[in-house]
Amino acid sequence: MKNAVSTQYHLDNIDKQIIYMLMDNAKTSLAHISKNVGISTTAVHQRIKKLEQAGVIENSISFLNPRKIGFNVVSYIGVFLEQPSHYHDAVKALQDVNEVVEAHYTTGNYTIFLKVLCRDNDHLMQILNKLQKLKGVTRTETFISLEQSINRQLRV
């Protein structure tokens, strides 16, 4: 489980411009960024390295479109655990369920809140059966997303 970072990194306007360009397209060239922010490619490279070392930029990845590879159902599953002490064992078991793409330890009704990608409702049922057999899980509550209206990174 990742812990919150205790120190903050001050972002100036150039850092923000660089970050926004990389958020829009992680493959943006240093030359293109340099031209748009008004500093040399070497300076852009140095700033990106500093941002990575400070943990502001964690990684540069390309995102898969789940629907293009047959995962048409996005669901959110609230998991009720018998006792909070089962949390770490449950998360360890959830690591082996490929369709679970996010897991959050939450306040409120659920101990764990999951984002799960499935091919169809039958596949979702298989995943639910798997989840409900995990040690400590007393029950689950499922929500199916009909449409994702907003999908973005935090802008600072």
Q: Which long-range contacts (CB under 8 A, 24 or more apart) does 132-136 make?
A: 134/90, 134/93, 134/94, 135/86, 135/89, 135/90, 135/93, 136/81, 136/82, 136/83, 136/86, 136/89, 136/90
pLDDT score, position 6: 52
Whether residues 96 and 74 fall in one domain: yes
Regarding whether 120 and 50 lie in a shared domain, the answer is no
Tokens of 87: 């949390």
Residue ranges in the chain modelled with pLDDT below 70: 1-6, 61-62
| Domain presence at residue 3 | no
Contact 9, 56 (CB under 8 A): yes
State whether 33 and 71 are in the same domain. no
Q: Which residues make Cβ contacts (< 8 Å) with residue 101, sequence separation at least 6? A: 115, 116, 117
Which residues does residue 76 pair with via DSSP β-bridges, in sequence order? 115, 143
* CATH assignment of the domain containing 91: 3.30.70.920
Inside any domain, residue 82: yes
Q: Is residue 7 part of a domain?
A: no
3 state SS of 135:
coil
Task: Report pLDDT for 118.
Answer: 97
In a domain, 6, yes or no: no
Report the distance separating Cα 36 and Cα 17, nearest Å: 9
Residue 38 sits in the same domain as residue 86: no
- Residue 79 is part of which domain span? 66-145
151, part of any domain: no
pLDDT of the residue at 154: 83
Q: Is residue 129 part of a domain?
A: yes
Kindly state whether residues 25 and 86 are assigned to the same domain.
Answer: no
43 occurs within a structural domain? yes
- Count how many domains the chain has: 2
